[in-house]
Amino acid sequence: MKSKKKLVIANWKMNPVSLEEAKNIFNFTKKTAALLKNTEVLVLPPSIYLQPLSKISRPKNLFLGAQNSSAEEKGAFTGEVSVSMLKDLGLKFVLVGHSERRAMGEDNKIINKKLQASFEAGLTPILCIGENVRDKEGTHLEFLKEQIKNSITGLQKKHMVGMIIAYEPVWAIGKSYKEAMNPTDIHETVLFIKKSVGEFFGKDIASSIRILYGAAVESQNAKPVIEYGNVEGFLVGHASLKKEEFPEILKAIDSVK
């Protein structure tokens, strides 16, 4: 993945309910991706669809990745999928620490272990962070800093260079664009995230990381967020499944230099 390009991640979550529908969504995504000049697209389908979708030809700027992986290498972990299995399937990317996984009990310690495991397997993890609520006192900033510190602690510097972090304010996830965070607040939060990474890993690493915004990205707010939000791409949930929405988001982001 070339870091100069913007990145849009399609997080399908536990959708759609059939392989046929998954192929349809993948196909309209593929068609639009082929038209893009400045943007790479990473599709994260449910793991059961990864293999069949990987057999479909796709343009060079379209990638497939996993929504989750185990922190363990192999063994008695019913229902889990390891980073080596993802690697063996030819995948390069894995989402780590999405708020919906955190809500199922994943804490920063497990997330840290998953990041280590992904890097060691040669995968590129995308770390998700985000506060549940915001308040005027700014306690959400302390919360974010703690999340960052505890997720990346002990990682090797070489792995931190160019690391991808998806900032997703949890209170806006799944909502309409009208309830998304405004670009000015996103901009400020991105600066705060970089500053926090800098405190733990130094300025050079902080300026190398790529920050994406996620939560209620729809075709209506994609352009202002990329223009003024200080981010290098998006993590898109519900809108990534919609034929009338996702291609518009991709075209909007691609049109911004």
* Residues 139 to 198 in contact with ligand PGA, rule: CB under 6 A: 168, 173-174
From 98, 238, 245, 248, active-site residue: 98
168 is catalytic: yes
Q: Tell whether residue 253 is a contact of ligand PGA (CB under 6 A).
A: no
Which span (79-87, 116-124, 193-201, 230-238) binds ligand PGA, by CB under 6 A?
230-238
CA-CA distance, 99 to 130, in Å (whole number)?
8
Task: Using the minimum distance from each CB to ligand PGA, give the nearer residue, 102 or 194.
Answer: 102
Applying CB under 6 A, among 65, 214, 229, 233 the residue interacting with ligand PGA is 214
CA-CA distance, 255 to 257, in Å (whole number)?
6
- Residue 215: helix, strand or coil by DSSP? coil
Candidates 55, 54, 127; CA nearest to 86 is 54
The least distance separating ligand PGA from the CB of residue 74, rounded to whole angstroms, comes to 28
Task: Using the minimum distance from each CB to ligand PGA, give the nearer residue, 205 or 253.
Answer: 253
The least distance separating ligand PGA from the CB of residue 167, rounded to whole angstroms, comes to 11
Candidates 65, 215, 57; CA nearest to 126 is 65
The least distance separating ligand PGA from the CB of residue 157, rounded to whole angstroms, comes to 28
CA-CA distance, 102 to 242, in Å (whole number)?
26
The least distance separating ligand PGA from the CB of residue 68, rounded to whole angstroms, comes to 12
Is the distance from CB of 98 to CB of 128 less than 8 angstroms? yes
73 is catalytic: no
Quick one: tokens of 140?
């959400």
Using only C-alpha atoms, what is the Rg of the chain? 17
From 40, 106, 131, 168, active-site residue: 168
Strands (E), 31-175: 39-44, 62-66, 93-96, 124-129, 164-167
| Cβ-proximal residues to 217 (8 Å cutoff; 6+ apart), any chain | 177, 180, 225, 234, 235, 236, 239, 249
- Report DSSP state, residue 129: E
Q: How far from 59 is each of 55, 82, 244, CA to CA, in Å?
A: 13, 27, 21
Applying CB under 6 A, among 6, 114, 145, 238 the residue interacting with ligand PGA is 238
CA-CA distance, 212 to 235, in Å (whole number)?
7
Which span (67-75, 142-150, 156-164, 232-240) binds ligand PGA, by CB under 6 A?
232-240
The least distance separating ligand PGA from the CB of residue 169, rounded to whole angstroms, comes to 10
The least distance separating ligand PGA from the CB of residue 78, rounded to whole angstroms, comes to 26
Quick one: tokens of 57?
């030809």
Applying CB under 6 A, among 115, 217, 225, 253 the residue interacting with ligand PGA is 217
Applying CB under 6 A, among 66, 152, 215, 241 the residue interacting with ligand PGA is 215
Task: Using the minimum distance from each CB to ligand PGA, give the nearer residue, 205 or 239.
Answer: 239
Q: Which residues make up the interface to ligand PGA (CB under 6 A)?
A: 11, 168, 173-174, 214-217, 235-239
Provide the annotated active-site residues: 98, 168
